[in-house]
Chains A and B, each alone.
Chain A
Amino acid sequence: MALTDVFAGAVIPTKVKEVVAWGRKNSLWPMPYATACCGIEFMGTVSSYFDISRFGAELVRFSPRQADLLIVLGTINYKQAPILKKIYDQMCEPKWVISAGACASSGGFYNNYNVLQGIDEIIPVDVYVPGCPPRPEAILHAVMKVQEKIEKEAKGQAA
């Protein structure tokens, strides 16, 4: 007789790591780094109609020390690159990064002397969101992808 049958319904056997991951993925605290129109879409994502709190990520922090999900929304130019890097460095581990929109992911249509061709040149990115700007649904999908990644990491699977 398996242990699960003995305690059927009363206990859920699991691992500490997975419980911690479950907590983390359902209480992501995002820090938006919004520089362009993608930031407006993020405001729509947070507010009631799309309601990011359905995924537990409604507690938007404007301080990197209190956040574990950095969402970069908008064009990042060379002058901002060290600022973004510093903000990423100030966030406590564990941390995840969403690159939302064409500009943050690849420079978008700004192929010139002053725009970073994707923020992955300076910080690691977990999820890229296409779109110019991406719809709120796309940003929610990215949050779900991050949650999936957190869960898989805890289980030791490839994200």
Chain B
Amino acid sequence: MSVDETLNQLSVVIQKNQLHEILNFLKNDPRTSFEMLIDICGVDYLKMNESPRYEVVYHLYSISLNHRVRIRIKLDEKDLSLKTVTDLWPAANWFERETAEMFGIVFQGHPNPKNLLLYEGFPGHPLRKDYPVDKRHAIPVSLEKV
């Protein structure tokens, strides 16, 4: 676990097995009370030669106390699974779906683990840095697949 504060923005790296416990605390404790989940996103550090390669970032905001925090979890290529936080913030539903399809991160316990933006059956994860920019797939022809 490490804490970093740059430009008045607090950023905390935590272990992946503590994720749900810590986020649950941050949401419900009256001293933090982060009622609002701003965003969940993935990061691929392939071209920066960092290890582990992936990271998932949770952006939290407290409406009542007007403060923010960024929670980061480093993920190794071999184990890209995380526990869902849809039970804490329903807003996590679509964020997790997007992060899952774009980076291939699996959110365990997600109520609706389908693609959000890509069509059903899209091969690969386009926001990974090793995904070729000019790669094209066959154009989907059936409306059922969309």
Contact = CB atoms under 8 A, between A and B. Distances in A.
Contacts of B78: none
Interface residues of B, number: 17
Contacts, number: 40
Contacts of B137: 78, 113
| Chain A interface extent, by class | 10 to 19
A85 B146 contact: no
B134 A81 contact: no
Interface string B114-146: 000111000000100001011111011111011
Contact of A121 (B134, B139, B143, B146): B139
Main secondary structure of the interface of A (DSSP, over half): loop
Main secondary structure of the interface of B (DSSP, over half): loop
A114 B133 contact: no
Interface of A: 78-79, 81-83, 85-86, 111-114, 116-117, 121-122
8 contacts: A79-B117, A82-B139, A82-B146, A83-B146, A86-B143, A112-B133, A113-B135, A121-B139
